[in-house]
Chains A and B, each alone.
Chain A
Amino acid sequence: MKKTILFFALVAATGSIFAQKKTTTSGTISFDATTSKDALPKAENKTVIAAIDAKKGTIAFEAIVKNFAFSNPKMQEHFNGATWMDSEKFPTATFKGNITNLASVDFQKDGTYNAEVAGDLTIHGVTKPVKTTGKIIVAGKSISTNADFSIKLEDYGVNGPAIGAGKVATEPKISVSADLQ
């Protein structure tokens, strides 16, 4: 009898833990580094892994840098090259952080919540702390999230000649979105 109770308690606990962590492998990160001199440096990656743990308030993203899709082949080559992202050497970009106002987000109740997020962003092999605000949309068992922010490329050791020439924005805009199940 005790074993049966223990078994059901374990099953219930396991189910609860899984329910708290939502993931997707089709999150989207887009960046826009266009300037008045060049409209080409912008791209989108739609195969980003994302995860939210509703109980712990953790949030994470992982992206393969080479899967940013550009319209222009030469721009894509420059983006992945040694003077930009050097994606041979640094193949992934990651974010690991926390929702710092977790008490303001009710994952049990449908609605749109303003989330404050802080964590470590790793690009080009350099990890820096970032803070941003975004939206968390709770709809039944699904959670959607989106955020817009910008980064300074020089903070991540990205200093290619095109940046110096004003053809690439020094602080590109980054947009992140994910529908997590």
Chain B
Amino acid sequence: MVLGGGAIWYIFNLKFSDTTEVKADYTVKALDLIHEFEKNNSLSNIKYSEKIVVVNGMVSHVEAADTTVNIKMADSTSGSYIIFAFQQQHLAEAKSIKQGDQVSIKGSCSGGAYSEILETEFITFKRCALNK
């Protein structure tokens, strides 16, 4: 009974680790990742979804998102892009990033899809932080 209660308490109080402290599964260049998803969305989703990935590239947009900002790296030719939503404790870092900056971002890849609205591939990340 006590063990069962302890297990439930443990599960209820689980939190995601700070992404900076999690070992990356992959390190990629932004444009390479975009092209990989464009080439084969299904295989790329299997490979990267829910994996911790470090993405290196140039910031194309800093976009207001609710009370914070998201960072984007886009392929200027196709319009396809990667978008990074930052982890709560790293929101201030996101606000310090400027368009044109070369950055390294670590986050949990949520996979990509083709947008019928924008007619481009988009790849989303959550729980991101600057990779230092």
Contacts and interface: CB of A to CB of B under 8 A. Distances in A.
Given A25-B70, A26-B83, A62 B14 contact: no
Contacts of A46: 65-66, 68, 70, 85
Given A71-B16, A74-B11, A62 B66 contact: no
Q: Could you say which of B16, B63, B65, B116 has the most chain A C-beta atoms within 10 Å of its C-beta?
A: B65
Contacts of A72: 11-12, 14-16
A60 B113 contact: no
* Main secondary structure on A side of the interface with B: strand
Contacts of A47: 65, 70, 83, 85, 122, 124-126
Interface size class of B (residues with CB under 8 A): 20 to 34
B62 to A, nearest CB: 10
Interface string B1-36: 000000000011011100000000000000000000
B124 A64 contact: yes
A71 B64 contact: no
Pairs A-B, 4 closest by C-beta atoms: A26-B65, A66-B110, A67-B110, A67-B124
